Every structure is written in C-alpha cells, then in structure tokens.
C-alpha cells in the first residue's frame, strides 16, 4: 500500500500531440480516486503512465515516496484491471490468478492458498478449473479483479473495468468494486467515462478535459461547486441547463426572465474586462412547480411561465421538459460535451429546459405551467473561458450573494 | 421446400468436392500404382497393377544413395524450418507490435525477396558458396532456404500476432513479467496455431525444393531427395528406373503427410476466444 504522487506529469507524442499536460495529483494511501472525462481527455494515458505502460515525457511520478518514472511496470508493484479483462485464454481461472504469483516465484503452497483466498472473496471457487472462454462477462470481470488482488499490490489501477458489462450487471459490480476496495484498503485509481460511476464510487473525482485537470474533489463538491462550465455540464444526470444571459444595468436578461444580481457578482461584472454575455446554469432539481413553493422559499427564487413539452414521471418525481425561447448558450465546452454525449444538440444547449419537479405537480403535456427556480443555486459562467463567476473561495453562492 | 434445397445443395457441393479430389489425387495415385508394378507391366497403361510387387521399395532402400538423400532432406528441412520460424516469429512480433523507423522498408524488402525469381540467383549463389567453402554442404542449402522461407514466415506470423489482443501483453507486464516472459508464456502459446501453420508451410517449401538442391550440391553428402531422384538409376545402370523413382516419390510424400497430420491437431482455431470480451 502506498500513496501515488503525480508532479507536473505530461505526455506528448512524437507527432507533437499533447495527451496529458502538467497533471498535479496527490493520491493518499488507501484512497479511491476516479479519473473521469470524455474520450480523448487523457485519463487512460494518465493511468497507463502510472502503470508504466507509457513513458512519461516530463514531470515526476512517485509511488510510496519513490520516483518510478524509469521503472518497468513489474518493478512498480501495482496491479491493473483492463476494460477487455485481458485474461490469458490458454490458462484456467486458477492459472490466470496464479500467474503473477508464479512470476514472483512463490512456492506452490503459498500460491494455492492465496488463489483460494482471493477466489473465496470474489465467489470464484466453483469456476477455478474453467477456461475464460467458458465464463460469462461478469465472471470474467471477477477473474480479472481476482488476478489483481491476489498478490496484494501497492495499488490497483482500473481502466473502465465495468464498461463491457450490461447495465444491470454494471450496477451490481459497482458495489462489488466499492466493497472490495474498502475491505482491502488499497490505493485505487479508476478510470471511467461514466459520470454516474465517478459520482458513486470514488472518494475523490478528477475531471479531465483535453489532457488537463479541470477540478479535483469529492463528488458532492464537484456537483455543488463546479469550477467551470465543463465540470458543471459533465457532472449530473440529467445535466445542467445552460441558457444565454445578457448583462444589462446590473441585472441579467435571460429566457427565464430578469435575474437580479447580488453585490458580489455585480462587483465581478464591473471589472473592465468583464464579459457582457454570460451563460446561466441551473440544475434540473432546482426548479419547482410554482404552486408547490411556499412564500418563504418563493422569495429566494424567480418564476416564469413556459409551455410543457414532455412529462416523464419517475414515480418519486417528474422530469418535465419545457420549451423556452431565446438565444442558445454557446461555448467551446458545451460543444465538446455535446459531441461526447453523441448528440448534435445538447439537452442543456438552449431551447429545451429539463426540470425535476415534485411528483405532486399536476403538470400536463401541451399546457403552459408556472415554474419557480432557486436563485441561490444558479451558476453564472463566462463563455470565453468557462469560469464560474458565482464561485467564491471554492463555494458557489448563487446570483444573489452580497 | 427448404429441405429439398439443402439436399440438392448438398448433392451439388458433394459432386464438386469429388471432382476436386479426383483431379488432385489421380496423379498421386498413379505414381503409387506405378511403384507397385513390376518392370514388365510398367507400361501396360492399367490403373491397378496386375502383379503387385514391393521390389521397387526394396531397391531404393538397398541403395545407399536414397537413404542418404532422405536423411539429408529431413535434416536440412528441419533445421531450416526451425531457424526460419524462430527468426520469423521475432521479426513478425516486432512488425506487428512496434513502430520503428524502416518498418515499411523491411516489409517491402521481404516481399521483394519472396517474389525474386530464384533461378536468377542460382549462379551467384553457386559462386558465393564455392568461395565460402559451403558448396555441397548442409549449410549451403539451409541458408538459401531460410532466406526464401523467411518472408513467408514473417507474413503469416505477423497476421497471427496482430490477432492477439495487445492488452494481454500489457496485463502480463503488469503481472510482473519481463518482455521475454510475456512473449514466451502468454503470446507464443496463443500464436501456436500460427507457428505450426508457418512451420508446415516452410517445411514443405524446403522439402520440395529442386532448383537449389540440384545446383548447390554435387555429391551424396548433401544431396536431398528431389535432387537425388534425378540421378536415380535403379538396381543396375541398365535398368529402367521408373518403378524405383515412383517408389521414392511415394516415400518422400509420407513425411509431409505425417508432418501435417501431427501438427493439424494443434492448429485449433478459436484458441484465443475468451481472452477479451467475447
């Protein structure tokens, strides 16, 4: 067990592309850290550099206080679980799990004892004599994990280990991974492109974009206090709504009405280089049916009326999609998020508004509805660089803060 | 309706198969039939010998010439196959895994060698081998065989290596293997079908070669069977050697058949299934 420190680690390829840029990250002993981001953000490259499968162009990587930049993977004493599982097809499950121990030249009895123990933890005992070809996807995944835990390495690296499983199994295996990590207390770095996995699994989440770290923090902090537009849009499902907003005489003109501004945000906007156009971000759960909001809360927010497009009843609450007029919010970050989501027009990109209202709301498709939203929870972003203007000392305080 | 179509399709394919087999087998069976005929009935034009005899086989194994050539053939072909497969495996592995400068050139040149007309190399090789004093020796044949078998080996093997998921090798490295261990214990066993296929192809190429065998040898010391056959005289100089040549031809096809049968069991397709998401 050990801590892992990345000190200004960069990776560039001979053709000049920079895959990872100055990543600074300290992973404490026993911590579960998730690297997340859209494809091509450098998260897998970062993991491979920690593993030793890719060279580090510049910067320093330390495992347990020791510089390991030039060490071969086998000298780093870390285990890795691959997205493809990478089980050796010519070996049985037992031989697969024993492989790292045999390479470490342990005696037969110790090897057998360790394999049996790991197999018991992962409920693989009845499968030990089978070949990988005769296992289901979930079983293969467990064998791959077994092979990683069997030699008690300093750290686990997991490269999208669950993305080849079907949805139901993925949720199951998520808890298995989580329990296993807590049980063993081994430092773990986990790469995923799935923000749900990132939110549910890790102690801390590292969001990457274009080879650079965007924000590092516990999942809830990233959710509540996103540092920039990209983090705000990436974390959360359904994702945050983004609307175009124009600054005019100390208030904001948006498709949802005139948003009043508190002193703090106003001061930011008084600076000479302050942007005249902003992007307003509101999470779906910060909307509520205006009828269901009491007087006290009502004062902290703003109301607007819009036609209801679609109602999705989830039982516990309702996802209601509104059509709002007005200019689309546009920024490089939003386009990237849209491209990653595989959709030409991103749900939060304007036009459609996703809200999460109480189940009691009598909202009907095709009719207009008055909706309230919480001004203390909204975010304002600078479209040129994506910075969150409502963030003060790492805390997002909404638009009204003084 | 569907059953009818399948029966008819089966019949059609069956007929086609029989045609192909007959086309391929008739000359071979004819040779076999000739090898069992007595000198008197050799030219009677009958497919089945009227009088069966094993004299022809006795004759060839009685002469030292043939036995010696058989030993040469087996030895030279085995050594050349072994070296070509080992070298080819290493080259193919590098080609399929690494991106090194001159890779395209290497692949191109090896293709060029494979296509080069061998006959135009015979006289230069003859001169070179005489100078190097390896003319009419085993190495004198093994070296050119390796040269011409290598491109074949590299091509077949790199196709096989490319099919093996790279993740397996990474996993082996993470599990504590050196590059050599990863290759020997993970990659090579998976490439085994490819290695055996290549070995068979190279062996057959060496075994069947006549051009180099006849031009780069001069005595029984290193003459292989195809070359020795052309010097065959039979029991005495005045005898018609056709029967003996046929017997020898039958004998030299036997190792090839054995070789293929032996390795065929190991050429199991789908050996890699289950390695990665299947």
For residue B168, give how far its alpha carbon lies from the nearest alpha carbon of chain A (Å): 5
Cross-strand bridge partners of residue A159? A191
State residue B229's pLDDT score. 84
Average of pLDDT values for A255-272?
Answer: 82
Residue B56 has pLDDT above 80, yes or no: yes
Chain B residues whose CB is inside 8 A of the A72 CB are 173, 178
Residue A402 belongs to a domain: no
Average of pLDDT values for B124-143?
Answer: 92
State residue B278's pLDDT score. 38
Banded model confidence at residue A248, pLDDT cuts 50, 70, 90: confident
Residue B196 belongs to a domain: yes
For residue B52, what are the CA distances in angstroms to A235, B1, B34, B58, B239? 88, 51, 10, 13, 19
CA gap A254, A348 in Å, rounded:
14
CA gap B183, B177 in Å, rounded:
9
Average of pLDDT values for A345-354?
Answer: 58
Same structural domain for residues A217 and A286? no
Give A174-232 pLDDT, tens digit per residue.
998 999 999 999 999 999 998 889 999 989 999 999 999 999 999 999 999 999 999 99
Q: What is the CA radius of gyration of chain B?
A: 24
Is residue A4 left, alpha or beta, with left meaning phi > 0 and alpha meaning psi from -120 to 50?
A: beta
Chain B residues whose CB is inside 8 A of the A89 CB are 190, 271-275
Same structural domain for residues A391 and A349? yes
Q: Could B176 and A51 be called an inter-chain contact, meaning their C-beta atoms sit closer than 8 Å?
A: no
> What is the DSSP secondary structure assignment for residue A387, as one 8-state letter?
B
Residue B26 belongs to a domain: no
The number of folded domains in chain A is 2
State residue A187's pLDDT score. 94
Q: Is A103 touching B (CB cutoff 8 A)? A: yes
Banded model confidence at residue B73, pLDDT cuts 50, 70, 90: very high
The number of folded domains in chain B is 1
Residue A143 has pLDDT above 80, yes or no: yes
Tokens 């199951």 correspond to A172
Same structural domain for residues A205 and A298? no
Same structural domain for residues A365 and A317? yes
ipTM: 0.81
Same structural domain for residues A194 and A243? no
CATH number of domain containing A36: 3.40.50.300
Same structural domain for residues A244 and A149? no
Same structural domain for residues A190 and A327? no
Chain B residues whose CB is inside 8 A of the A147 CB are 171, 175
Average of pLDDT values for B41-56?
Answer: 82
Residue B67 belongs to a domain: no
Residue B248 belongs to a domain: no
Output A109 or B268, whichever has higher pLDDT.
A109
Chain A residues whose CB is inside 8 A of the B271 CB are 89-90
Residue B188 belongs to a domain: yes
| Domain finish residue from A179, A208, A224 | A224
Work out the end-to-end distance of chain A between its first and last CA atoms, rounded to an integer number of angstroms. Answer: 47
For residue B92, give how far its alpha carbon lies from the nearest alpha carbon of chain A (Å): 21
Which of B176, B182, B183, B192 is the best substitution to test chain A (most A C-beta atoms within 10 A)?
B176
Same structural domain for residues A273 and A386? yes
Chain B residues whose CB is inside 8 A of the A134 CB are 274
For residue A300, what are the CA distances in angstroms to A259, A314, A322, B9? 11, 27, 22, 79
CATH number of domain containing A272: 2.40.50.140
Residue A401 belongs to a domain: no
| Domain finish residue from A177, A208, A224 | A224
Banded model confidence at residue B238, pLDDT cuts 50, 70, 90: low
Range of the domain at A333: 229-396
Q: Is A169 touching B (CB cutoff 8 A)? A: no
Phi and psi of A260, rounded to 5°? Answer: -70, 155
Residue B39 buriedness (CB in 10 A; 0-12 / 13-18 / 19+): middle
Range of the domain at B187: 79-222
Nearest CB to B176: which of A74, A140, A157? Answer: A74
Residue B56 belongs to a domain: no
For residue B266, give how far its alpha carbon lies from the nearest alpha carbon of chain A (Å): 13
Give A269-327 pLDDT, tens digit per residue.
877 677 788 899 999 999 999 999 988 888 888 999 999 989 999 999 999 999 888 77
Chain A residues whose CB is inside 8 A of the B277 CB are 84-85, 137, 140, 164
Residue A98 has pLDDT above 90, yes or no: yes
Q: Could A100 and B173 be called an inter-chain contact, meaning their C-beta atoms sit closer than 8 Å?
A: no
Same structural domain for residues A215 and A235? no
Residue B169 belongs to a domain: yes
| Domain finish residue from A202, A224, A246 | A224
Residue B6 belongs to a domain: no
Q: What percent of chain A has pLDDT over 70?
A: 97
Average of pLDDT values for A247-256?
Answer: 84
State residue A316's pLDDT score. 92
Same structural domain for residues A216 and A263? no
Q: Which of residues 148-187 of B touch A (CB under 8 A)?
A: 165, 167-168, 170-178, 181, 185-186
For residue A83, give how far its alpha carbon lies from the nearest alpha carbon of chain B (Å): 9
Same structural domain for residues A326 and A252? yes
* Helices B64-97 and B103-115, axial angle in degrees (round to 10): 150
Nearest to B84 by CA among B147, B139, B28, B30: B147
Chain A residues whose CB is inside 8 A of the B274 CB are 87, 89, 131-135, 140
- Whole-model pTM: value is 0.78
CATH number of domain containing B159: 1.10.3720.10
Which of A86, A136, A161 is the best substitution to test chain B (most B C-beta atoms within 10 A)?
A86
Residue A276 belongs to a domain: yes
Same structural domain for residues A205 and A306? no
Q: Is A53 touching B (CB cutoff 8 A)? A: yes
């Amino acid at each position: 067990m050990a801590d892992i420190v990345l000190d200004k680690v960069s990776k560039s390829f001979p053709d000049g592309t920079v895959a990872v840029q100055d990543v600074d990250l300290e992973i404490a002993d026993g911590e579960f850290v998730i690297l997340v981001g859209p494809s091509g953000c450098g998260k897998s490259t970062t993991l491979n550099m920690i593993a030793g499968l890719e060279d580090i162009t510049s910067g320093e990587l330390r495992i347990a206080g020791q510089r390991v930049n030039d060490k071969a993977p086998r000298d780093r004493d870390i285990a890795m679980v691959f997205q493809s599982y990478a089980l050796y097809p010519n070996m049985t499950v037992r031989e697969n799990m024993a492989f790292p121990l045999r390479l470490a030249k342990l005696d037969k009895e110790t090897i057998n004892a360790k394999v049996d123990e790991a197999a018991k933890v992962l409920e693989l005992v009845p499968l030990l004599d089978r070949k990988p070809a005769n296992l289901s996807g979930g079983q293969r995944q467990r064998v791959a994990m077994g092979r990683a835990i069997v030699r008690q390495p300093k750290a686990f690296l997991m490269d999208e280990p669950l993305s080849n499983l079907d949805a139901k199994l993925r949720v199951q295996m998520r808890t298995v991974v989580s329990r296993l990590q807590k049980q063993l207390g081994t430092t773990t770095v986990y790469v995923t492109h799935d923000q749900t996995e990132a939110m549910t699994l890790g102690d801390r989440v590292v969001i990457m974009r274009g080879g650079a770290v965007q924000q590092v923090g516990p999942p809830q902090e990233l959710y509540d206090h996103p540092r920039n537009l990209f983090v705000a849009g990436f974390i959360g499902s359904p994702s945050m709504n983004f609307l175009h907003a124009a600054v005019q005489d100390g208030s904001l003109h948006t498709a949802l009405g005139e948003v009043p501004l508190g002193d703090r945000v106003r001061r930011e906007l008084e600076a000479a280089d302050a942007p005249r156009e902003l992007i307003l971000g509101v999470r779906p759960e910060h909307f509520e049916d205006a009828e269901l909001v009491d007087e006290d809360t009502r004062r902290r927010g703003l109301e607007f009326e819009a036609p209801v497009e679609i109602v999705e009843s989830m039982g516990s609450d309702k996802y209601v999609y509104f059509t709002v007029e007005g200019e689309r919010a546009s920024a490089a970050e939003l386009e990237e998020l849209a491209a990653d989501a595989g959709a030409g027009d991103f749900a939060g990109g304007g036009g459609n508004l996703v809200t999460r209202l109480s189940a009691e709301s009598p909202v009907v498709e095709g009719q207009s509805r008055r909706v309230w939203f919480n001004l203390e929870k909204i975010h304002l972003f600078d479209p040129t660089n994506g910075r969150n203007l409502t963030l003060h000392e790492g805390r997002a305080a909404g638009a009204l803060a003084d | 309706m569907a059953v009818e179509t399948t029966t008819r399709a089966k019949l059609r394919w069956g007929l086609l198969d029989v045609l192909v087999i007959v086309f391929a087998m008739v000359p071979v069976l004819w040779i076999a039939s000739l090898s069992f005929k007595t000198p008197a009935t050799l030219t009677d034009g009958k497919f089945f010998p009227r009088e069966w005899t094993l004299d022809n086989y006795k004759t060839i194994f009685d002469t030292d010439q043939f036995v010696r050539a058989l030993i040469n053939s087996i030895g030279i072909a085995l050594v050349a196959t072994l070296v070509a497969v080992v070298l080819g495996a290493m080259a193919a592995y590098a080609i399929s895994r690494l991106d090194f400068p001159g890779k395209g050139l290497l692949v191109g040149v090896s293709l060029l060698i494979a296509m080069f007309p061998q006959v135009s190399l015979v006289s230069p090789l003859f001169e070179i081998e005489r100078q190097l004093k390896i003319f009419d020796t085993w190495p004198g044949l093994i070296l050119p065989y390796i040269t011409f078998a290598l491109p074949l080996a590299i091509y077949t093997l790199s196709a096989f290596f490319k099919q093996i998921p790279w993740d397996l090798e990474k996993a082996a490295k993470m599990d504590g293997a050196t590059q050599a261990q990863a290759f020997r214990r993970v990659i090579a066993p998976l490439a085994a079908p490819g290695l055996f296929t290549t070995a068979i192809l190279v062996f057959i190429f060496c075994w069947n070669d006549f051009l180099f065998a006849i031009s780069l040898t001069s005595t029984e010391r290193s003459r292989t069977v195809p070359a020795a056959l052309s010097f065959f005289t039979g029991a005495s100089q005045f005898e018609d050697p056709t029967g003996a040549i046929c017997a020898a031809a039958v004998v030299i096809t036997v190792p090839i058949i054995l070789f293929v049968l032996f390795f065929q069991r190991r050429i199991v397709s789908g050996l890699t299934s289950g390695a990665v998401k299947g």
